[in-house]
Amino acid sequence: MSSVTVVMVRAMRTRGWIIPAAAMLAVSVAAGSSAQPSSPATPRGEAPAEPVVVELFTAQGCAGCPEANTRIEALADTPGVIALTYAVDYWDYLGWADTFARPEFAQRQRAYRRPLKLRAVGTPQVVIDGRRQVPGAREEALKAAVEEEAARRVFPPEIEFRETGDQVGVGSGRVPAGGAEVVAVVYRPGAQTVEIERGDNRGQTVRQVNVVRSVRSLGAWTGRPALYDLPAGLDADEAVAILVQARTDRRILTAAVLPPR
Protein backbone atom coordinates (compact mmCIF):
# COMPACT_ATOMS: atom_id res chain seq x y z
CA MET A 1 0.00 0.00 0.00
CA SER A 2 1.41 3.38 -0.95
CA SER A 3 2.11 5.95 1.74
CA VAL A 4 0.88 9.52 1.87
CA THR A 5 1.87 12.50 3.94
CA VAL A 6 -0.77 13.64 6.41
CA VAL A 7 -0.42 17.04 8.03
CA MET A 8 -1.57 17.00 11.63
CA VAL A 9 -2.18 19.95 13.94
CA ARG A 10 -0.72 19.87 17.43
CA ALA A 11 -3.44 19.89 20.05
CA MET A 12 -2.87 22.62 22.60
CA ARG A 13 -4.95 23.38 25.67
CA THR A 14 -6.32 26.84 26.30
CA ARG A 15 -9.12 27.59 28.75
CA GLY A 16 -10.42 24.04 28.59
CA TRP A 17 -10.40 23.94 24.78
CA ILE A 18 -8.08 22.10 22.45
CA ILE A 19 -7.22 24.42 19.56
CA PRO A 20 -4.91 24.16 16.57
CA ALA A 21 -1.53 25.86 16.98
CA ALA A 22 0.55 27.43 14.23
CA ALA A 23 3.09 24.61 14.28
CA MET A 24 2.23 21.57 12.15
CA LEU A 25 3.43 18.01 12.37
CA ALA A 26 3.98 16.03 9.17
CA VAL A 27 3.35 12.33 9.65
CA SER A 28 3.74 9.61 7.02
CA VAL A 29 1.04 6.96 7.34
CA ALA A 30 -0.56 4.28 5.25
CA ALA A 31 -3.50 5.81 3.43
CA GLY A 32 -6.62 5.73 5.61
CA SER A 33 -5.02 3.54 8.27
CA SER A 34 -3.09 5.11 11.14
CA ALA A 35 -1.10 8.10 12.38
CA GLN A 36 1.47 8.38 15.17
CA PRO A 37 1.14 11.65 17.09
CA SER A 38 4.40 12.54 18.77
CA SER A 39 4.55 13.04 22.52
CA PRO A 40 4.80 16.61 23.86
CA ALA A 41 7.75 17.60 26.00
CA THR A 42 6.89 16.90 29.62
CA PRO A 43 9.12 17.32 32.71
CA ARG A 44 10.50 13.96 33.77
CA GLY A 45 8.31 12.24 36.32
CA GLU A 46 5.24 14.33 35.48
CA ALA A 47 2.25 13.35 33.41
CA PRO A 48 0.70 15.96 31.10
CA ALA A 49 -2.39 17.63 32.54
CA GLU A 50 -5.57 16.38 30.88
CA PRO A 51 -8.89 18.20 30.54
CA VAL A 52 -11.76 17.24 32.82
CA VAL A 53 -14.96 16.36 30.93
CA VAL A 54 -18.13 17.53 32.69
CA GLU A 55 -21.36 16.13 31.20
CA LEU A 56 -24.68 17.61 32.31
CA PHE A 57 -27.89 15.71 31.61
CA THR A 58 -30.74 18.18 31.85
CA ALA A 59 -34.19 18.98 30.48
CA GLN A 60 -36.08 22.15 29.66
CA GLY A 61 -39.16 20.82 31.42
CA CYS A 62 -37.34 19.86 34.63
CA ALA A 63 -38.08 22.29 37.47
CA GLY A 64 -34.80 21.53 39.25
CA CYS A 65 -32.59 21.86 36.17
CA PRO A 66 -32.16 25.65 35.63
CA GLU A 67 -29.98 25.94 38.74
CA ALA A 68 -27.76 23.10 37.54
CA ASN A 69 -27.57 24.72 34.10
CA THR A 70 -26.29 27.90 35.74
CA ARG A 71 -23.59 26.06 37.68
CA ILE A 72 -22.34 24.26 34.60
CA GLU A 73 -22.27 27.51 32.63
CA ALA A 74 -20.14 29.07 35.36
CA LEU A 75 -17.81 26.08 35.15
CA ALA A 76 -17.59 26.02 31.35
CA ASP A 77 -14.96 28.77 31.13
CA THR A 78 -12.72 27.16 33.73
CA PRO A 79 -9.28 26.33 32.29
CA GLY A 80 -8.92 22.59 31.78
CA VAL A 81 -12.68 21.85 31.72
CA ILE A 82 -14.75 20.62 28.77
CA ALA A 83 -18.41 21.15 29.71
CA LEU A 84 -21.14 19.48 27.62
CA THR A 85 -24.92 19.75 28.02
CA TYR A 86 -27.14 16.86 26.89
CA ALA A 87 -30.89 17.45 26.75
CA VAL A 88 -33.09 14.44 27.60
CA ASP A 89 -36.80 13.94 27.01
CA TYR A 90 -37.88 12.40 30.33
CA TRP A 91 -40.01 15.44 31.19
CA ASP A 92 -41.78 15.86 27.85
CA TYR A 93 -44.89 14.15 29.25
CA LEU A 94 -45.65 17.33 31.27
CA GLY A 95 -46.55 19.13 28.05
CA TRP A 96 -43.31 20.67 26.80
CA ALA A 97 -41.20 18.77 24.23
CA ASP A 98 -37.54 19.60 24.87
CA THR A 99 -36.26 21.38 21.76
CA PHE A 100 -32.69 20.01 22.09
CA ALA A 101 -33.41 16.43 23.21
CA ARG A 102 -32.52 13.36 21.17
CA PRO A 103 -32.96 9.67 22.05
CA GLU A 104 -29.20 9.03 21.88
CA PHE A 105 -28.59 11.54 24.68
CA ALA A 106 -30.86 9.64 27.07
CA GLN A 107 -29.19 6.43 25.90
CA ARG A 108 -25.78 7.88 26.77
CA GLN A 109 -26.99 8.80 30.25
CA ARG A 110 -28.44 5.34 30.83
CA ALA A 111 -25.13 3.79 29.79
CA TYR A 112 -23.59 5.35 32.92
CA ARG A 113 -26.09 3.73 35.30
CA ARG A 114 -24.40 0.36 35.75
CA PRO A 115 -20.75 1.55 35.85
CA LEU A 116 -21.66 4.23 38.40
CA LYS A 117 -23.69 1.69 40.41
CA LEU A 118 -26.90 3.72 40.22
CA ARG A 119 -30.39 2.29 40.72
CA ALA A 120 -31.80 4.79 38.22
CA VAL A 121 -30.93 7.95 36.32
CA GLY A 122 -32.54 11.35 36.72
CA THR A 123 -32.16 15.02 35.95
CA PRO A 124 -30.25 17.07 36.58
CA GLN A 125 -27.24 14.77 36.69
CA VAL A 126 -23.57 15.62 36.18
CA VAL A 127 -21.03 12.96 35.24
CA ILE A 128 -17.34 13.83 35.69
CA ASP A 129 -14.85 12.10 33.35
CA GLY A 130 -17.23 9.14 33.18
CA ARG A 131 -15.96 8.13 36.64
CA ARG A 132 -18.41 9.69 39.11
CA GLN A 133 -21.70 11.52 39.26
CA VAL A 134 -22.84 14.66 41.06
CA PRO A 135 -26.66 14.50 41.46
CA GLY A 136 -28.30 17.86 41.02
CA ALA A 137 -24.94 19.51 40.31
CA ARG A 138 -24.47 20.43 43.97
CA GLU A 139 -21.95 23.27 43.99
CA GLU A 140 -19.43 22.04 46.57
CA ALA A 141 -19.57 18.43 45.39
CA LEU A 142 -19.16 19.55 41.78
CA LYS A 143 -16.16 21.72 42.57
CA ALA A 144 -14.49 18.95 44.62
CA ALA A 145 -15.07 16.34 41.91
CA VAL A 146 -13.56 18.52 39.20
CA GLU A 147 -10.54 19.36 41.34
CA GLU A 148 -9.95 15.70 42.19
CA GLU A 149 -10.18 14.61 38.56
CA ALA A 150 -7.88 17.46 37.48
CA ALA A 151 -5.26 16.23 39.98
CA ARG A 152 -5.40 12.66 38.65
CA ARG A 153 -2.10 11.69 37.01
CA VAL A 154 -2.48 9.43 34.00
CA PHE A 155 -0.67 8.75 30.74
CA PRO A 156 -3.43 8.88 28.12
CA PRO A 157 -3.10 8.66 24.34
CA GLU A 158 -2.46 11.94 22.59
CA ILE A 159 -5.13 13.47 20.35
CA GLU A 160 -4.32 15.53 17.25
CA PHE A 161 -6.55 17.01 14.55
CA ARG A 162 -5.67 17.11 10.87
CA GLU A 163 -5.21 20.60 9.51
CA THR A 164 -8.00 19.95 7.03
CA GLY A 165 -10.41 19.38 9.93
CA ASP A 166 -11.84 16.14 8.57
CA GLN A 167 -9.92 13.59 10.65
CA VAL A 168 -8.49 13.16 14.12
CA GLY A 169 -5.52 11.05 15.19
CA VAL A 170 -5.37 9.15 18.47
CA GLY A 171 -1.97 7.94 19.63
CA SER A 172 -0.84 4.82 21.44
CA GLY A 173 -1.56 3.84 25.02
CA ARG A 174 -2.90 1.20 27.38
CA VAL A 175 -6.38 -0.05 26.54
CA PRO A 176 -8.73 -0.55 29.52
CA ALA A 177 -10.35 -3.91 30.20
CA GLY A 178 -13.24 -4.36 27.81
CA GLY A 179 -11.74 -2.08 25.19
CA ALA A 180 -12.27 1.58 24.33
CA GLU A 181 -13.87 3.72 21.66
CA VAL A 182 -13.44 7.17 20.17
CA VAL A 183 -16.59 9.27 20.60
CA ALA A 184 -17.39 12.48 18.71
CA VAL A 185 -19.67 14.95 20.50
CA VAL A 186 -20.85 17.79 18.27
CA TYR A 187 -22.07 20.85 20.17
CA ARG A 188 -22.64 24.57 19.89
CA PRO A 189 -20.24 26.52 22.14
CA GLY A 190 -21.69 29.22 24.35
CA ALA A 191 -25.12 29.76 25.88
CA GLN A 192 -28.55 29.35 24.30
CA THR A 193 -31.90 30.38 25.71
CA VAL A 194 -35.35 28.89 25.19
CA GLU A 195 -38.70 30.30 26.35
CA ILE A 196 -40.76 27.53 27.93
CA GLU A 197 -44.49 27.71 27.26
CA ARG A 198 -45.78 24.62 29.08
CA GLY A 199 -44.86 22.18 31.83
CA ASP A 200 -43.18 22.81 35.19
CA ASN A 201 -41.02 25.64 33.80
CA ARG A 202 -43.74 27.41 31.83
CA GLY A 203 -43.21 31.14 31.59
CA GLN A 204 -39.47 30.81 32.25
CA THR A 205 -36.52 31.35 29.95
CA VAL A 206 -34.16 28.38 30.27
CA ARG A 207 -30.48 28.98 29.57
CA GLN A 208 -28.06 26.18 28.66
CA VAL A 209 -24.37 26.19 27.70
CA ASN A 210 -22.46 24.08 25.14
CA VAL A 211 -25.60 22.28 24.02
CA VAL A 212 -24.87 18.93 22.36
CA ARG A 213 -26.35 18.38 18.91
CA SER A 214 -25.14 14.87 18.19
CA VAL A 215 -23.02 12.11 19.67
CA ARG A 216 -21.66 8.99 17.98
CA SER A 217 -18.82 6.51 18.12
CA LEU A 218 -16.10 6.89 15.49
CA GLY A 219 -14.80 3.39 16.11
CA ALA A 220 -12.76 1.24 18.44
CA TRP A 221 -9.40 2.34 19.86
CA THR A 222 -7.07 -0.63 20.17
CA GLY A 223 -4.12 1.09 21.83
CA ARG A 224 -2.35 1.66 18.52
CA PRO A 225 -2.17 5.04 16.71
CA ALA A 226 -5.06 5.48 14.28
CA LEU A 227 -6.95 8.07 12.25
CA TYR A 228 -10.72 8.53 12.51
CA ASP A 229 -13.07 10.44 10.22
CA LEU A 230 -14.76 13.37 11.94
CA PRO A 231 -18.51 13.96 11.45
CA ALA A 232 -19.16 15.54 8.05
CA GLY A 233 -21.29 18.59 7.30
CA LEU A 234 -20.63 20.53 10.49
CA ASP A 235 -22.20 23.97 10.73
CA ALA A 236 -19.88 26.94 11.10
CA ASP A 237 -20.95 27.40 14.74
CA GLU A 238 -20.35 23.79 15.80
CA ALA A 239 -17.41 22.40 17.77
CA VAL A 240 -16.45 18.73 18.15
CA ALA A 241 -15.28 17.18 21.41
CA ILE A 242 -13.35 13.95 20.92
CA LEU A 243 -13.53 11.55 23.86
CA VAL A 244 -11.49 8.38 24.20
CA GLN A 245 -13.75 6.33 26.46
CA ALA A 246 -13.68 2.89 28.01
CA ARG A 247 -16.50 0.66 26.78
CA THR A 248 -17.10 -1.19 30.04
CA ASP A 249 -16.60 1.19 32.96
CA ARG A 250 -17.21 4.29 30.78
CA ARG A 251 -14.30 6.31 32.18
CA ILE A 252 -12.97 8.95 29.82
CA LEU A 253 -9.26 8.45 29.22
CA THR A 254 -8.65 11.77 27.48
CA ALA A 255 -10.45 14.40 25.43
CA ALA A 256 -9.84 17.28 23.04
CA VAL A 257 -11.92 19.90 21.25
CA LEU A 258 -11.86 21.08 17.65
CA PRO A 259 -13.44 24.57 17.78
CA PRO A 260 -15.79 26.00 15.15
CA ARG A 261 -14.31 27.01 11.83
**Dist. CA 258–CA 12, nearest whole Å:** 10
**Nearest alpha-carbon partner for 69 in 118, 126, 147:** 126
E strand map for 94-238: 125-128, 132-135, 159-162, 167-170, 180-195, 205-221, 226-229
pTM over 0.75: yes
Give the homologous superfamily in CATH for domain 52-258: Glutaredoxin (3.40.30.10)
Q: In this structure, which amino acid lies at residue 97?
A: A
Q: How far is CA 59 from CA 38, 52, 73, 205, in A?
A: 41, 23, 15, 13
Beginning with the edge strand found earlier in the chain, give each strand of the sheet holding 3-14 in spatial order.
17-30, 3-14, 159-162, 167-170, 226-229
Q: What is the pLDDT along the chain (261 residues), one digit of tens a residue?
A: 333 323 333 333 333 333 333 333 333 233 333 333 333 333 333 333 689 999 999 999 999 999 999 999 999 999 999 999 999 999 999 999 999 999 999 999 999 999 999 999 989 999 999 999 987 778 888 999 999 998 886 789 999 999 988 999 999 999 999 999 999 999 999 999 999 999 999 999 999 999 999 999 999 999 999 999 999 999 999 999 999 999 999 999 999 999 998
Dist. CA 199–CA 32, nearest whole Å: 49
- Sheet with 239-246, strands from edge to edge, namely 132-135, 125-128, 52-58, 81-87, 205-221, 180-195, 239-246, 252-258
In sequence order, what are the beta bridge partners of 221? 180
